[in-house]
Amino acid sequence: MQDPIIKVRDVAWIRLGSPDLDQAERFLTDFGLLRQVRTENALYMRGTGDAHHLHITERGPDRVLGVAFHADSEADLHRLAAHAAGASGVEALNEPGGGKRVRLKDHNGFTMEVVHGVATVATLPERHSLLNTGAERPRLGQLQRIEPRPCQVKRMGHAVFSTPDIEGSVAWAHRHFGFMVSEHVHAEDNPDFLLASFNRADRGDEFVDHHIMMFGRHSRAGLNHISYEVQDMDDLHAGHDWLQQQGHYHLWGIGRHLLGSQVFDYWKDPWGRVHEHWTDTDTLNASMAPRLVPKSQGLKSQWGPQAPQEFREAASV
């Protein structure tokens, strides 16, 4: 593979089009995000971390408008603009949070934004459960009581795209964003036929999430899901119950993935776009080599339900 043009630092946000901002805000609030800014035509939602926003909804047709990633520097934006085919110039982000960006199309024609200089905000108080386990009991004389409530989303974790050409998608992401492969998953009887690819940021010796972008083989290109980290296991379960009580569409979970190890729970927004809660992920650094695993050792849950066909076929455009 060619050397990457830049190495992105992390995923930043999803940008979706939705015809009804009130409906979008209701779902996202129940999902555990908080309104940062709302204008006549756009909604910016944040988590408890210091990111200005993690989710943008623009008023308009139901569609995927883009996924954004953080660059390390403005110099990286200029490098990407100069060397990525079809990239925009470095342009001001004239929206809440400010900053600058470069826009480009990925292997399947989806818009990717690479941003730098977006404002940060003060973190918010977080609820964490103190757990007594078989190994130790740090909670002494305190009763554990979890109130009915939405969970508290902390940050965006990853984006997953369906693609008919996994090899091409992985090569594009490596070239433009510097991703490293954590795992390739292949067909049981054919190691050369990839079914999925989990990719992480390359931060050298620093340990990072198991993946910030995954590609799954599908006949149609599209966004399979976006994923957000919540505070802990209790927070995830409380959020699950809250979303159920509010009548939202549950797709899959609660369970624990095999690759990445996240405890997961998947929901659909009013337009069918899949949003995931997760807690507890594997972390890797650049010294850890890619793994090639068969489907039976990759695309399954360690515990909890296995993926329904509806999840495998999700590909919002």
Average pLDDT of the chain, as a whole number: 96
Q: What is the mean pLDDT of residues 256-269?
A: 98
Residue 44 has a pLDDT of 98
pLDDT at 258: 96
Q: How far apart are CA 74 and CA 119, in angstroms?
A: 14
- Average pLDDT estimate for 262-273: 98
Burial track 147-182 (b if 16+ CB lie within 10 A, e otherwise): eeebbbbbbbbbbbbbbeebeebbebbbbbbbbbbb
The predicted pLDDT at position 80 comes to 98
Instruction: Say if residue 8's pLDDT is above 90.
Output: yes
- Residue 259 identity: L
pTM for the structure as a whole: 0.96
Per-residue model confidence (pLDDT) at position 49: 98
Q: Residue type for 49, please? A: G
Nearest to 173 by CA among 185, 188, 158, 187: 158
Decide if 12 contacts 114 (C-beta within 8 A). Answer: no
Q: What is the pLDDT of residue 314?
A: 85
pLDDT for 2 equals 85
Q: What is the CA radius of gyration of the chain?
A: 19
The three state secondary structure string of the chain is CCCCCCCCCEEEEEEEEECCHHHHHHHHHHHCCEEEEECCCEEEEECCCCECCCEEEEECCCEEEEEEEECCCHHHHHHHHHHCCCCCCCEECCCCCCCEEEEEECCCCCEEEEEECCCECCCCCCCCCCCCCCCCCCCCCCCCCCCCCCCCEEEEEEEEEEECCHHHHHHHHHHHHCCEEEEEEEECCEEEEEEEEEEECCCCCCCEECCCEEEEECCCCEEEEEEEEECCHHHHHHHHHHHHHCCCEEEEEEEEECCCCCEEEEEECCCCCEEEEEECCCEECCCCCCEEEEHHHCCCEEECCCCCHHHHCCCEC
pLDDT in tens, 25-46: 999 999 999 999 999 999 999 9
The first and second tokens of residue 108, run together, are: 């399947």
Confidence check: pLDDT of 1 > 80: no
Q: Which tens digit of pLDDT belongs to each residue from 199-244?
A: 999 999 999 999 999 999 999 999 999 999 999 999 999 999 999 9
Q: What's the mean pLDDT in 167-178?
A: 97
pLDDT at 313 over 90: no
Q: What mean pLDDT do residues 171-200 have?
A: 96
pLDDT at 298 exceeding the cut of 90? no
Instruction: Give the pLDDT confidence score for residue 299 in this predicted structure.
Output: 83
- CA distance linking residue 180 with residue 290, whole number of Å: 8
Note the pLDDT of residue 166.
95
- Tell me the angle at which helices 233-245 and 21-31 cross, rounded to the nearest 10 degrees: 140
pLDDT of 297 over the 90 cut: no
Whether 92 has a pLDDT exceeding 80, the answer reads yes
Q: What is the 3-state secondary structure (H, E, C) of 26-76?
A: HHHHHHCCEEEEECCCEEEEECCCCECCCEEEEECCCEEEEEEEECCCHHH
